[in-house]
Amino acid sequence: MKPLFIMLLSTAWMLCGAQFYYQALMDYLENRLLAIEDHMHLCRDQSRQYRMALHNFYKESQKTVEGLKEAHSTLSTDVEAAALQLDRVERDMDLVESRMSPRACGNRADRVVEQGVWSQEESRLVEEEGWQELPSGVSDCVEIISAIRSVKILKRVGCSKGVWLRDPRSSKVYIFNGTAGDTIYQFDSVLEFGHSPEVALGRPIRLPLDWRGSGIAVYNGYLYYIQEGEDVHVVRYDLLGDELMDVAILPVESQAAVYSLNPETVADLAVDDQGLWLLYASSETEPNINLAKMDPVSLDIEQIWDTRCPRENSESAFVVCGIVYVVYNTQMASRSRVQCIFDVNDKVLSEEAPLFYFPRRYGAHASLKYNSDEKQLYSWDDGYQILYRLTTKRKLQVSQPKHG
């Protein structure tokens, strides 16, 4: 009987313990559910607040965007009006400059240096009589540029710097994209180049020696360009026969840039009615641009002049009728201007030396190449290919002093 009682007591105790355990578990679960419900209510309240804040932000943003649209419209209108006023001011400036142009520095040929070896008799005469200026071998020309008559922006293609030019004796156009390379591109005409969306669509010409800078000229079917190495060379290349014809070393002490605003150009080649010209600086310390007349076949230097035109702030130059026109600008590109000229024939008076501005367009001229057949300049300006048609006038006649 006693064991039975003990067993019943133990069973009752176990049942009571289990009931207590389950009750505690239920209480714990209930408390957790209540906490979860509290968190859900809190999340719901925060979500409601976030939605209201987002809605308010959207409304404020919409108002701000509408205000910006109105401000942008007003600003666009003001910019268009300012652009029209600027165009009018530039046209007025061009008109005033063409009619009342201040005079530039017109430098005469102070001394002409003939290249070659003198005989003993010539040396003796020089020692006895002193230096006598030798007459220029360049034929006289009666034209001088007075202004830019018109501008034609052909297109924009290629790098920011480059050269494009046309042979005066043919219609072919040659493109030098960039400041250095071994490949150029040929187009049959300016029209064909104007319709081409890419430079590389022209006929590629692989040169035997690399070109560098804007010192490039095309004359009578031959390409002349500057090739740099330990020395500075002028290269003559036959465009029709695809053949290297000659290479000549330039008389320079160092690879000094001829134009301070285009440092990659150590020397510049130019062509006009008189033939082939070379613009260069003899050394880094040379303050002025030197001019040389070159034989287009042998590449011999026939005569040398000191133009007295400073290299500082110069960006390019071109030669017309034996007159060098040096174009200047500023470090922060502004309006390019011809500010210094030099006449090898000594026929331009200082009072008639023109100072004229190029119309303000994009940046600065990487190159300016004169075409004597068309009387216009081929310009590369910040990737734009531009044509400048020139206005010319006759030079004044320089009266010779009378000797009694």
Mean pLDDT of the chain: 81
Q: Which residues of 18-27 are buried (b: 16+ CB within 10 A; e: fewer)?
A: eeeeeeeeee
- Among 5-19, 92-106, 126-140, 306-320, the minimum mean pLDDT is found in 126-140
Residue 18 has pLDDT above 90, yes or no: no
Report the pLDDT averaged over residues 243-268: 89
Tell me what percent of the residues of the chain surpass a pLDDT of 90: 41
**Mean pLDDT across 22-42:** 82
State both tokens at 215.
């010192």
Residues 227-247: tens digit of each pLDDT? 977 788 999 999 999 999 999
Q: Given a cut of 90, is residue 173 above it in pLDDT?
A: yes
**What are the residues whose beta carbons fall under 8 Å from the beta carbon of 362, sequence distance 6 or more?**
381, 382, 383, 384
The Cα 263–Cα 257 span in angstroms is: 5
Q: How far apart are CA 121 and CA 99, in angstroms?
A: 53
Query: DSSP assignment of 122-145, as one string?
Result: HHHHHHHH---PPPP-SPP--EEE
Q: How far apart are the first and last CA of the chain?
A: 172
Q: What pLDDT was estimated at residue 362?
A: 67
Q: What per-residue confidence (pLDDT) applies to 20?
A: 72
The domain ranges of the chain are 1-100, 105-394
Reported pTM: 0.68
Q: Which of 70-84, 129-143, 158-172 has the highest mean pLDDT?
A: 158-172
Output the CATH code of domain 105-394: 2.120.10
Residues 6+ away with beta carbon under 8 Å from 31? none
- With a CB cutoff of 8 Å and minimum separation 6, the contacts of 297 are none
Q: What is the pLDDT of residue 378?
A: 96
Is the pLDDT score of 105 beyond 90?
no
42-46, 157-161, 340-344: which has the minimum mean pLDDT? 42-46
CA–CA dist 336, 314 (Å, integer):
9
